[in-house]
Structure 1
Amino acid sequence: MEIQKLYDREKVNPMGGCLWSLLPLPILIGLYGVIQKPLTYLMNLSNDEINELSSFLFDTVVGSNGSNQIHIAEELFNRFSEVISNLPALADKLFLLDYRFLGINLAQTPQWNITQFDSMSWNNIGLFLIPIVSAGLAFLSMQISMKTNSTASNSDSPAAANTKSMMYTMPLVSLWIGFTLPAALGIYWIANNVFTMLQEFVAGKLLKKDFEAMKREQAERELREKEEEKERRRIAAENKAKAAAEGKKRQAVERKVSGDVLANSRVGIRAYARGRNYDPNRFGGVTPYRDPGSPVNEDEVEAALEAKGTPAPEIDSVPAELETPALEAVEPSVPVAEAAPAPSEQKAAGSGEYEAEEAEPSEEDED
């Protein structure tokens, strides 16, 4: 996550450098095939024709794989007229394939052991020098790249340490490969290193002002970030000191509070439910209940007024009598006459029918 933030701040695309590294691969693969098999790709010879040509040149079939076609093409260059006269069927396809460059046969493999040279000819000496020159130019090219690269200014960074190790490793690998493969590969590496150095030199001259402006902007940004970090730490230290001071002040206040106040302030498990400075007697304590109907004690009133410095008013006061609630007479309740029940229905004993009792006639009815 931090690396992605760094890429965003520096406006770097991690995949931006991969595309330019992958573009030469198709060219290199095609070039490798053409150099390895010149009889197949340049002369359009089939495998049977290559076997026939190798049987004539070496009295055996050497095959068409690996670097065998390079050796066949080299021998064909030395005995071309003889091959044309003895293999007329291939005369239309065969042509002289000269691997010589500056008098050096690039189809040959350089020999590192000078004592095994058949002669101290320019061809043998040139073959011996090609891998050495290739490794030296590779080392020089990487040195120039380190000087022009902005990451090389910080020698303690992991990228600089990795680049320095590669600066010594890659030329040694190039030197070893140069003495195991044909000299044409060494010439390719030499040309590539020379082109890379020219590219670094021209780009450094043209983009020098842009690089310097970018470095100044980067230095200003780093300075600004340091100042912001310093300010952030200062604010954090002030807040921490303020919190510590408030904590000490709170502890001092808590130590000053008596145990009675803490007990009065507590409600259940909440130690300061009523407040840290709660005092139940702050306003004179609990006022005792007084019956409004009780007589007023004149002496206490006069004493209270004298304490306030106000003379008591002279009024004729009549002692109030003790008021007692009068008992109201309660009339005895008259029982309400119960209503006469309705004639009861009686069940006939034998038949199960109900018979209504006849009410006795009153005096009014008799009249």
Structure 2
Amino acid sequence: MSYIRQFLTFLLNTTDKYVGNFGVSIIIVTILIKIMLLPLTLKQDKSMKEMKKLQPELEKIKEKYANDKQMLNIKTMELYKEHKVNPLGGCLPLLLQLPILFALFGVLRNGIIPKDSSFLWLKLSVPDQFYILPVLNGAVSFLQQKLMGSADSNPQMKNMMYIFPIMMIMFSLKMPSGLQLYWLTSSILAVVQQYFIMKKGA
């Protein structure tokens, strides 16, 4: 994590030297990171789709071997092997992405943002005084969950679809605007990625 933070700090400062605005630097670096992580995102999506296709078969196995845990595990692994699916395939790409995203979050939180830097109406080192970014973060979070469509058949997920954006707004209120800008940019890029991934799948 230390090496990742040093690299991201270098990347932000170098970009700022060329563009002359730290807010624009945050957006550019966030886009670059998303592009670098795109192969992992696509791999994660592919694995999740493959697992989703196997759900009916998995349910049948669970019903048939409900009282025999050992046979249930054996038949489940045989199904994965037959279809060449790794049950951890959807998790591992995400786990590889998280250190980079958390490192950038930590870099921006720990005082790298120049005190006098501004972007549009924002003073990047302090929270957004008009609360526009926190509201946008909540709205994009809602759109992201809506696009995933996971709440349609799950009442608990449907509740989270409304609760999580509110939590995002509350968390964002005290964040420096530069950190909020990173979070918003990252979320918008995630929505765009998901849209095109779903469009390609359709």
Distance in 2 between residues matched to 1:29 and 1:193, nearest whole Å: 14
Q: For residue 179 of structure 2, what is the aligned residue in structure 1?
A: 185
Render the CA deviation track for 1:97-151: whole Å, top value 9, x for unaligned. x2x12231121123xxxxxxxxxxxxx33xx1110011011001100111xx6xx
Q: How far, CA to CA, are the matches of 2:190 and 2:200 in structure 1?
A: 15
Q: CA deviation at 1:198?
A: 1.3
Q: Relative contact order (alpha carbons < 8 A, sep ≥ 6): 1 or 2 greater?
A: 2
C-alpha separation between the residues in 1 aligned to 2:161 and 2:86? 25
State how many pairs are aligned: 129
Partner residue in 2 for 1:27: 100
Q: How do 1:47-86 residues align onto structure 2 when only pairs under 5 Å count?
A: 73-74=114-115, 77=116
Partner of 2:125: 107
The one of 156, 181, 189 aligned to 1:195: 189
Does the CA contact (< 8 Å) of 2:127 and 2:176 recur in 1? yes
The TM-score normalised by the length of structure 2 is 0.54
1:143 aligns with 2:146: yes
Task: For residue 17 of structure 1, give the secondary structure of its aligned residue in structure 2.
Answer: coil
Q: 1:26 to 1:170 in 2, by over 3 A?
A: same
Q: Residue type matched to 1:136 in 2? A: A
Runs of 4+ in 1 over 4 A off after TM superposition: 3-7, 9-12
| 1:13 CA drift (Å) | 3.0
**What is the DSSP-based 3-state SS (H/G/I as helix, E as strand, rest coil) of the residue aligned with 2:91?**
helix
Q: Structure 1 CA distance, aligned partners of 2:89 and 2:201?
A: 19
Identity of aligned residues (%): 29
Q: Distance in 2 between matches of 1:15 and 1:135?
A: 30
Counterpart mapping for 1:313-328 below 5 A: none
Distance 1:29 1:202, change over 3 A: closer
Structure 2 unaligned residues grouped into runs of 5+:
1-60, 63-71
Question: Which one of the candidate residues 136, 161, 166 is aligned to 1:172?
Answer: 166
TM superposition shift of 1:187 = 1.6
Measured against aligned partners, the alpha-carbon deviations of 1:43-97 in whole angstroms (never above 9, x if no partner) come to xxxxxxxxxxxxxxxxxxxxxxxxxxx6xx41xx3xxxxxxxxxxxxxxxxxxxx
- Asked whether the equivalents of residues 139 and 165 of structure 2 are also in contact (C-alpha less than 8 Å), the reply is yes
2:134 to 128, 131, 148: 131
Tell me the TM-score normalised to structure 1 length.
0.31
Deviations 1:180-206 (A, max 9, x none): 221223222221221122122211221
Q: Secondary structure at the match of 2:158?
A: helix
Partner of 1:163: 157
Distance 1:200 1:33 in 2: 25
Q: Which has the higher helix share?
A: 2
Change (3 A) 1:28 1:197: closer
Unmatched runs of 5 consecutive residues or more in structure 1: 40-69, 78-97, 111-123, 209-367
CA distance 1:137–1:106, shift in 2 (3 Å): same
In 2, distance between residues paired with 1:136 and 1:35?
A: 22
1:155-213 C-alpha deviation (Å, 9 max, x unpaired): 2xxxx2342232122111101101122122322222122112212221122111xxxxx
Q: How far is the alpha carbon of 1:6 from its aligned partner?
A: 5.8
The structure having more radius of gyration, on CA atoms, is: 1
Q: Return 167-176 or 133-142, whichever deviates more.
A: 167-176
Determine the C-alpha separation between the residues in 2 that align with 1:29 and 1:141: 19
